[in-house]
Structure formats: C-alpha cells, structure tokens
Structure 1
Amino acid sequence: MRTMLRQTITYKTTSYPSIYRWVALLIVSTAAFLSVVDLFIVNVALPSIREGIHGTNGDSQMVIALYLLGHAIFLITGGRFGDYYGHKKVFIWSMLLFTVASVCCAAAQNATQLNIARLLQGTFAAFMVPQSIAYIQFLFPEHHERAKALGIYGAIAGIASVLGQYLGGLLPEIQSAISGWRWLFLVNLPAGLLSAAAAAYWLKAPATKINGRPDYSGVLKLSLGLIALIYPLIRGRELGWPLWSVLLLPLSFVLLAWFIRDQYYKQKKGKQSLIDLQLFHNRSFNTGLMTATAYFIAQDSYFLINTVLLQTGIGLSPSSTGNYFVIQGVGYVVAAIFSIRLTVRYGKAVLQAGVLLMLTMLLVHILIMETAPADALLSATAYRQVFLAVLFLYGMGCGSVLPSLLTITLKKIPTHLASTAAGAYVTFQQISIALGVCITGGLFFQFLGAHPSLAQWLTAYRWATGANMFFLLVVAAALSVKKD
C-alpha cells in the first residue's frame, strides 16, 4: 500500500547554494513570524479593540477565538494543498490573502466585520505556515543543517510571540488620524507584500508533485471534527459551558474517528487521502507531538494569566505590560541563539535544562506575587527589579526549549511527508493553546469573583501557575522517553 501511494509522488533532491538556502529560510520564516505575531498582538490590546468597535466582552474574545479556529482547522489541509498545487504558489497566494485579510481587519467598522476578517486571516495563515516548514525539509536534506534551520525557524516564531505582546501594548496608544488599534493589523501590509515579492523572486519551486485531486471529502470530515473540538474549548468556558458546548466535545471524537477510518480505507484502496497515516507510526513524531502539546498548554496560558494579572489585578498600563514581556523576549533571544547549536551537540539535555529553569522561575513568580506589596510592580522598587530578572530567566528557559521542539518532532520525518507533518504539528499546537485557555485559564478565572480582592487574585494566580508547572513536568517526562 505504501509503495502504491508513494508512486504518485515525484521527488528530486536538489543541491542548493548555501546563500540561497539561508536567504530562502528567512523568506519562508515570515509565515511563522506573521501568523504568531497576529495571534499574540491582540491579547494586550483587547480593551482598545473592544472600545474601537463598540463591542462587548464576547465580541473581543471572538477576535482571538476565530483566528485560532481558522488557523487550527485548515493547517493539515494547507499542507496538502502545497503538495498538490506547489509549495511556492500556495505560499505566495496565502501570504497575499493573509495580507488582504489583515487590511480588512484594520478597516472593520463593527464587531461582525472584524471577526469575519479574523477568521479569514487565521485560515490563510493555516495555508502559508506548512509551506514554510516543507521548504526547510527540501532545502536542508542533511540532518545537522536541518536541525539548525528548524531551530532558527522555531526561534523566529518564539520571538514573534513576545514581539506581538509588546506591539499589542504599544500600537493602540499611537495618536494619529487612524485609530491606534487598527495599526495592529496594518503593520502586516508592508511585511506581507515584501514577503510575497521576495518569495516570487527568490524561491524555487521544490521538485515535488502529487497527481490527482486533493481529498476534498477528507477536508470536510476533518474540518467538522476540528470545529466540534476547538470551538467549544475556546468559547465554552467563557459562556459557562452551555449544553451545546458539552455535547460538541464527544461528537468531535466521533467525527475525528470517522475521518481516520475514512483515511485508512482510502489508503488501503490506493486512493488519494488527506493525510498519510504512516506518519503516526513514527514513534519520534508521536513523542514530539505529546511534548509540544504539554509545552504549549503551559506556555500560551502563561501569557494569558500574567497579562490579566498585571493589567487588571495590579493596574499596569498595556504598554508597561508589553515592556515586561520585552525583557522576557530578550532572555528568549539570548538563549535561543545558543540553544540551536547546543541542541545539535548535546541533544535533549538542553531542552531538559530549559524546562527545569522554567519550572524554577514559575515558582519564583508565585513567591514574588505572594510577598510583594500590592503596588510594588508599579514603581522602581527592589521587587520590580527582581521580577524583571525572573522574567529574563524564564525567557531563557523558553528559548532553550521552544526552538528545538519542532526539530525533535520532525527530525525523522521523510521529506515527502514534510507538509503533512508540519500541518499536524501546528494543528496540535493550536489545539494546545485552546486547551491551555480552557484548563489553566478556566482555573484562573474560577477563583475570581465579580470584584476580586488582592487575595483572590493571588490565589487564582497560584493555582493557575501550579497547573502550568504540572504541564511542564509532563514535558520533562516526555523528553526523558527514549526515541527510536
């Protein structure tokens, strides 16, 4: 069966000049950069967005939810479209459409227009991201260089998450003829156009092709299953878990089981399928997915609870909150620069050390919040200086882990499965973000009443951060598993 399926793929390994490969890496990495920035840039700016569109709290929450939904649903589909229609073509068109959707977000006059544009923005991001990872597999066939390239790609995505938080606090405060919050989306216009132009000029189309038509029925089945899973995870907690959200979750498993059975049947009969299930026979890939899932549950919910605590609980401005995350970002960049090379040499030990540092700093986070006066972080006190140092070290822990997660997950994936593997990896990442908001975020808000006292804020923060520490322990355990 596997032989029959692979005969539909023509693949040729090409030797690319070194300068071409590294420039191409920077070009395709813009997909990860822009998609991650646009996930995080609205977090800090939600109050400004809500005021600008005259919306409700539910409207502003949907700004995040619909982007996540569109992104998660179509990642695997986006990867397969690259296999059928060409990675270069799909990359350029999805980048241009992502840019158009960003402009539509900036031009939105009400909540409905903005949220439709955000759904489209997330969808087009889902088509451009898998192409970039597939390009890395083609450009760097040697394991040593591929590990370094994937590490750089992961580092760029991590930097984007921190930069997004910073810009989300800074841009809404811009005083101009255009409302400040609209700049959150307009910054994508020059970046998207330059990326598409550079890709059209510089990138070469990889020598891969799959004959036939995409598995559109598989796209429909997978999309229905993911919608039923992700949407209630994102919206259920905010709405108090209405009956429809409770019923959709078990239904999602039925739909996803239907999709898997359908894919198995098609592969057995030699028909075109959306995803090659042989991918999940790779133990290294499966363990990497488990590691990444636990990591992203902890990491992305960390930004949520700390942003809410610093702004609403302690009273920092959006720009001040963003500045705190910049300090963390500096630590991330410093560690990422060294960890990319160290991971190639020392392997998982670098990631394990990073997880240990993150666990230690989360414990110190709790101690600082428990012992600091209520307004200590608002002024230049010793508490504030210690907190900045803790954020820097926590960022170093992240920088030691995140850039290499993608590397250890995809390192043994054959090149012809690169797009599908990339789509599956980022799909699990997006589901993990939703789970983090649901589990850790839900635990955090569970301890807050309508008008929480400082004690309630600290109790909520303690429990939520403890949950994140548990998931990081899962990461540490997964990293200790011996892979094939």
Structure 2
Amino acid sequence: MSTAATGSPTTQAAPPDPRRWWALAVIALAQLMVVLDGTIVNIALPDAQRELGISDVDRQWVVTAYALAFGGLLLLGGRIADYWGRKRTFVVGMAGFAIASAVGGLAQTGFELYAARALQGVFGALLAPASLALLTVTFTEGRERAKAFGVYGAIAGGGAAIGLVLGGVLTEYADWRWCLLVNIPVAAIAVAAAIPLVSESKAHGDTRYDVPGAVVVTAGLVALVYGFTKAGEEAYGWSSAVSLGFIAAGVVLLAVFVVIEKRSNHPLLPLRIPLHPSRGGTYIASLLAGAGLLGALLFLTFYFQIVLGYSPIKSGIASLPLTAAVLATAGFATAMMTRTGPKPLMAAGGLVAASGMAVLSQIGVESAYATHVLPGLVLIGIGLGLLFVPLSNVALVGVEEHDAGAASALINATQQVGGAVGTALLSSFYSSSVTSYLESHAPSPALQFEAFVHGYSTAFWWGAAILALAAAVVLALVRVTKEELPTDAVVHVG
C-alpha cells in the first residue's frame, strides 16, 4: 500500500474548509435521522397497527418496506451522489425523506403507511451515502478525519438505541404518528443549514451511469432481503419455495452483477473497492455487526415489554446504557486508532460485544435488570464503539474521491442488508426454540413467558456467535496499520 498526494500544487496546498465543523454537525444530524428511523417505528408499531387495522401477518411490512427500498437502492444512491453532486443529492434526499415522513404520519390505511416507509427508504438510499461521502471529502487531514469519523461511528452505533427511547416518548406522550412527523422539522433544519455550510463536490472524469448494473444489483438485494424476511416468518419458514426461491434468485442476480461490473467501463461498484483485502474484510464485518446489533435490539424490546411489562418509554430508557457506552467508547477509539491502528480495536470490539450478547442470553423470567441486563448492554455498547469508529475509517482508506459515494454506500448497504438478514435468522431461531420449548414442557401458568425467554436467550446466543465471527473476519483480513491511515491533505492509496 502506497500513499501519494496527487493533483496540482495549488490543490494540494488548499486550506481546509473553514466551515467543515459546522458541516459535520449538519451531516451528523442527517445521519442520526436515518439511523433513528430504523428503530423509532418499532416502539410505535403496536399503536399504529391498532389504529390502521393492520393484521399481525402484514405488520412486518412497516419495517420491511423501508429495509427493502433502502438496502436495494443504496449502491445506486451512492453513484448518483458521486456524479450528480454530493451536496445536491444530500439536500434532495433530506427533503424527500421529510415528504415521505409526512405521508406516513398522515396515513389512514396500512397500505399508505407501507408506501410511505418504502419512499423513506428510497430517499434514505440517496441521503446516507451522500452524507458519508461529504464527510470523506470535507475532512482530508488525518487527525481531523479521525475525529469526524468518531462522531459518525458513534451515531451509527448508538442511534438505533436512541430511536427506541424517542419512539417511546413520542408514542406515550404524543401519538405514534409523531415517530414519523418528527422528521419534518429535523430535515427542514438540516436542509436550511446545508445550503450555506456544506460545500459541493462531485466525481470527475467518466460519470456515465451503469444502468444494467444498477437494475441487477437492486433486484438482487431486494430479492435476497425479501427471501430472508419470508424465511423468518412462521407462515413460510426456511424450507418454503417462496423463501428459497427469492434467496436463490438474489444470489444469482448478485453473481450476474459481479460479471457486469468486471466487464463495464463505468461500473456502479468498481470491484477494486470491495476486493481490497482490508476494505473487503471491513465490509463483511459491517454486515455481520449489523446482523447482530439489530437482532439484539429487536428481542431486547420484546423482553422488556412482554416479559418485564415495561411501558414504551421505560423500555426505551432501559436501552440507554448501550447508547451511553457507545458514545463514551467512540471518543476513546478515535484517540487510540492512530496509536494502535484500527485492527486491534475492531477485533476487540467484536469480541466484547459478543460477550455482552452472551451475558444477555442468561436472562430469565424473574431476572433483575441491574444484574442480568445492564452488564450485557454496557458490554455491547463498549464493543460497538470500538468496532464502528475504525470500521467507518478503514472502509474508505485508499478510496479515490471519484468512488467515495460508491464506497460509502457499500458501508450502509452491508449494515442494512445485514440487519435484515440477521433479524430473519434470529427470528427463525427464536420461533423454533419457543415451539420446541412449549412441546417439551408440561403446561403451567408461567410456561408461555418461560418459552419466550428461552427463545430470546437462543437469539442472543446466535447474536454472540455472529459478532464473534465479525471479530474473526477482522483478524483474518484487515491489514491496515496506523501508519497507513490517511495523514496528508490529499490521499490516494494504491
């Protein structure tokens, strides 16, 4: 790996943007909104289901419609940001996300809510890669970039838990609709601030769109996520023709996408981005971390509300130690990354988070929060803080500015697809575990709760295994050292 500054002397000596820290605040606000929306609706879902008359079978589409559109369109969104302009894409994504949120907040039927959530996913697929690409091209000095990525990584790791708290507050003290409508003022502030504070940038040279690649990869990701979602439903399962058919179709389409990208002169995802060993390992670790994290939050919410009888807001507050641990650890990880290099932090983060999952797997029907839940949450938060901060940095090391949007989109896509696949996997393990427990135990007043907890415990154990696998991938593939982290004004790594 070599590091070389390129470009004219004038470009190389250009001073940093004096508005860059204000721009970071705007980008962080937008990223927080996108991350929050992945979980804020979960708390509101029971109320929305009752008011709109949504069946138990169809309620999962409130979550899945967003995941399908977001995960399926992220790579295309990254290329649009590169070619059309990252600031312009950022502003359009924010405005569109607000409009989609208004449609969802005012929905009168279940179908309207599903459509609004899908539309949120479409604009989120523009917004998320544009945000990270702007961060990459705005902060070019090594230490400043590390701090900026520390903020971004903390939001990526802790924002989901904040969404649970905010969702509980809005649902309990206002109305479930505000879990969507709250995005409107946030987006308005971000758009108004972005126009004067964020500098425009775009890729130069070959900026033609890879239409065949965009169609095939979008179809492949949607098919894969849809197949895994169906596999996690009791009505279908892993052996159904629908589940296996969509998963197989997704795999085939993604293989075709690789062939298209190898032959294309203007690929949607240049294969040099994921085939770099360290970056490739980071993307795999990102997928696995997304799977383990979202699965944990989902079943932890069920445990709080169904078994422990917590209210929505109490359930959200009970998750706060995880967020606090992520935020506290992110600062430490940012400072240590230039001393130890990213690999030790990432590997340790995966193992610490896995140990936290293992602690949660020991819960019971009568377990105390302080002794059985809190330690696990803190360990998971520490682990995610150590993992996500260097992960965001390594995933973009050596990426040319021309490819910043595509590389940024790939980070978000791996986390989103990982979350959808992980939720389906853990839901399947949970369901089979509950069923076997009920069949093997004599009826009793507490049997149902005991079966639920047994299922949660099984899911947490699998979550621990997934996070431990992420650590193993980091140890095997990531080779970036502290000396190889960007330190110059303009950095290209070969």
Q: TM-score, normalised by structure 2?
A: 0.87
Contact kept? 1:221, 1:258, Cα under 8 Å? yes
Alignment-mate amino acid for residue 97 of structure 1: G
Answering whether residue 311 of structure 2 is matched by residue 312 of structure 1, we say no
> Which structure 2 residues correspond to residues 60-139 of structure 1 after superposition, within 5 A?
60-139=59-138
Q: Distance in 1 between matches of 2:285 and 2:145?
A: 20
Contact kept? 1:65, 1:235, Cα under 8 Å? no
Contact kept? 1:284, 1:412, Cα under 8 Å? no
The 3-state SS of whatever aligns with 1:57 is coil
Which of 255, 258, 261 matches 1:260? 258
Aligned to 1:440: 426
Aligned to 1:8: none
The 3-state SS of whatever aligns with 2:204 is strand
Contact kept? 2:358, 2:376, Cα under 8 Å? no
Question: 1:337 Cα deviation (Å)?
Answer: 2.2
Question: 1:226 Cα deviation (Å)?
Answer: 1.4
> Which structure 2 residues correspond to residues 373-452 of structure 1 after superposition, within 5 A?
374-375=365-366, 377=368, 384=370, 387-449=373-435
Aligned to 1:240: 236
The 3-state SS of whatever aligns with 1:434 is helix
Residues 251/376 of structure 1: CA separation in 2 closer, same or farther (3 Å cut): closer
Answering whether residue 338 of structure 2 is matched by residue 344 of structure 1, we say yes
Query: Larger deviation: 131-140 or 341-350?
Result: 341-350
Unpaired runs of 5+ in structure 1? 1-10, 378-382
Question: 1:259 Cα deviation (Å)?
Answer: 2.0
Aligned to 1:358: 353
The 3-state SS of whatever aligns with 2:459 is helix
Question: 1:94 Cα deviation (Å)?
Answer: 1.2
Alignment-mate amino acid for residue 404 of structure 2: A
Alignment-mate amino acid for residue 291 of structure 1: A
Residues 418/207 of structure 1: CA separation in 2 closer, same or farther (3 Å cut): closer
Q: Distance in 1 between matches of 2:319 and 2:286?
A: 22
User: Aligned-pair RMSD on alpha carbons?
Assistant: 2.2
Question: 1:476 Cα deviation (Å)?
Answer: 1.9
Question: 1:333 Cα deviation (Å)?
Answer: 1.5
The 3-state SS of whatever aligns with 1:343 is helix
Answering whether residue 290 of structure 2 is matched by residue 296 of structure 1, we say yes
Contact kept? 1:148, 1:344, Cα under 8 Å? no
Unpaired runs of 5+ in structure 2? 1-9, 439-445, 481-494
Question: 1:247 Cα deviation (Å)?
Answer: 1.0
Q: Distance in 1 between matches of 2:406 and 2:138?
A: 17
Aligned to 1:38: 37
Question: 1:221 Cα deviation (Å)?
Answer: 1.6
Question: 1:375 Cα deviation (Å)?
Answer: 4.6
Alignment-mate amino acid for residue 251 of structure 1: A
Query: Larger deviation: 13-22 or 339-348?
Result: 13-22
Question: 1:131 Cα deviation (Å)?
Answer: 0.9
Which of 458, 465, 475 matches 2:470? 475
The 3-state SS of whatever aligns with 2:60 is helix
Alignment-mate amino acid for residue 342 of structure 1: M
Aligned to 2:442: none
Q: Distance in 2 between matches of 1:207 and 1:81?
A: 10
Aligned to 2:209: 214
How many residues in Structure 1 have an aligned counterpart in Structure 2? 457
> Which structure 2 residues correspond to residues 451-466 of structure 1 after superposition, within 5 A?
453-466=448-461
Contact kept? 2:165, 2:317, Cα under 8 Å? yes
Residues 259/361 of structure 1: CA separation in 2 closer, same or farther (3 Å cut): closer
* Cα offsets for 1:210-257 (capped at 9, x unmatched): 555422232212211112111121233223234222212111122222
* Cα offsets for 1:250-307 (capped at 9, x unmatched): 111222222222222222xxxx332212223311111111211221111110111111
Residues 388/254 of structure 1: CA separation in 2 closer, same or farther (3 Å cut): closer
Runs of 4+ in 1 over 6 A off after TM superposition: none
Contact kept? 2:236, 2:243, Cα under 8 Å? no
Q: TM-score, normalised by structure 1?
A: 0.89
Contact kept? 1:357, 1:397, Cα under 8 Å? yes
Alignment-mate amino acid for residue 130 of structure 2: Q
Query: Larger deviation: 99-108 or 435-444?
Result: 435-444
Aligned to 1:162: 161
Q: Distance in 2 between matches of 1:245 and 1:31?
A: 34
* Cα offsets for 1:177-226 (capped at 9, x unmatched): xxx00010111011101111111111111253355542223221221111
